[in-house]
Structure 1
Amino acid sequence: MSYDKSTSSILAPLLAKARAGDSAARDELFTRCRSYVNLVARTQVESWMRQKVDASDLVQQTMLEAYRGFPQFDGGTEGEWLAWLRKILSHNTQDFIRRMRTEKRGGAKEVPLQAGSDSEGFFHDPASPDETPSQMLSGREREIALAQAIERLPEDYQEVILLRNLQRLPFDDVAERMGRTRGAVQMLWARAIQKLTDELGSEST
């Protein structure tokens, strides 16, 4: 199966134009990356944190800081750009955790983020050897396309993929988080993966 590379191929020239001072290219670059940052944020926000913060708040803060700090970005590749966005998001998430724990216990310590949420292998090393979105794609440059495809899925499909493939939870834990039986979650996950496959396949035409 082949996939349209327009999303990834457009980011590099957008990044170059933005660094050269093209404000329209910079705005377009941030627009195209927002769904990616949103998915990373949702992966980082644990269930206990969701009662205190919405992932969209972290996304908004991260995108604002990245926009304001763009002149300080000294990378030149898409990979460096995405890593820079993840670094800002990671800092904001840790900052929020520290504030929460300081308020609750009068002290704070560094807390590791969800496995795989802040690394080059964000969409790799899935929870099971079954065919997954990460295996449908080739290389880090496809993360943007994958994030956008997941964002187009129904909310319950997004949730089951988030928990199973991105947070790498076993099906029993996914079932508990979603308030469903293991069997129901497994069927939901299979349908979600098929729908995601269809979404990605439609981009190849």
Structure 2
Amino acid sequence: MAQSQIEVLIQRARSGDCSAENELLQKCRAYVSLIARAQIEGWMHTKFDASDLVQQTLLEAHQGLARFKGQTEAEWLGWLRGILNHNTLDFARKYQGAAKRNVSREVSIDQAGGNSDDSAQHGWELKDETETPSRILLNREQELLMADAVSQLPTDYQEVIMLRNLQRLSFKQVAERMNRSPGAVQMLWLRALNQLQEHLESV
């Protein structure tokens, strides 16, 4: 099986290629950012921005690259998620106290696909309970592509996808978070998925 671009960059970065390491981390920025936004609970939005978590996670990945022992893209993304999860808990303890942190609400892209085991195959699924033309199923090799596509959407489209598909909130809950009616949120979500699908098909 041919190596992915990420796996090639990992090998080059390990050999001391600084430009490859910078490219590797930049290619993962949108991915880490999307997960970070999904992991921050409502009260945490008032304390710090997801960009704080992203910066800290990428910095630690840079500093700890020698400790990464994996070979594959899936292992690399799982390692990044582990750093991000650790940082999220640290930020939460700092601002709210560990006792008030609801760890069960934390969602990563692989968990959104129904699998939280980093050693297993990863993937995340954008779908609702009903059959629609906008159902999108991605395997683990497409996680970075999906995250990049989501990052190119308008802000409200990004938010509704994050809340609905990553945090798994109901349309009623999403409506409360976005200060819209449930019907308006559902229409927004469908438009967001359609535009996301157009982005993916144009790649």
TM class, shorter-length: 0.7 to 0.9
Distance 2:46 2:131 in 1: 32
Q: CA deviation at 1:132?
A: 8.5
Q: Give yes or no for contact 2:160–2:189 (8 Å, CA) kept in 1.
A: yes
Q: CA RMSD in A?
A: 2.2
Q: Give yes or no for contact 2:124–2:137 (8 Å, CA) kept in 1.
A: no
The answer to whether 1:51 aligns with 2:46 is: yes
Q: Deviations over 1:52-97 (max 9, x none)?
A: 0100000001111111111111111111100110000000100111
Q: 1:168/1:72 Cα in 2 relative to 1: closer, same or farther (>3 Å)?
A: same
Structure 1 runs of 4+ off > 6 angstroms?
A: none
Distance 1:38 1:97 in 2: 17
Q: CA deviation at 1:122?
A: 5.9
1:5 aligned partner: none
> Structure 2 length as normaliser, TM-score?
0.86
1:173 aligned partner: 173
- Structure 2 unmatched runs, 5+: none
Query: In the comparison of the two structures, how many residue pairs are matched?
Result: 191
1:1-205 to structure 2, matched below 5 A, reads 9-102=4-97, 108=99, 111-117=102-108, 119=116, 120=118, 121=122, 123-124=124-125, 126=127, 128-131=129-132, 135-137=136-138, 139-203=139-203
Distance 2:104 2:52 in 1: 17
Q: Give yes or no for contact 1:44–1:93 (8 Å, CA) kept in 2.
A: yes
1:3 aligned partner: none
Q: Give yes or no for contact 1:164–1:171 (8 Å, CA) kept in 2.
A: yes
- Structure 1 unmatched runs, 5+: 1-7
Identity fraction in percent: 50
Q: Give yes or no for contact 2:134–2:194 (8 Å, CA) kept in 1.
A: no
> Structure 1 length as normaliser, TM-score?
0.85
Q: Deviations over 1:109-162 (max 9, x none)?
A: 76415354263556238553445977342x111000000000000000000101
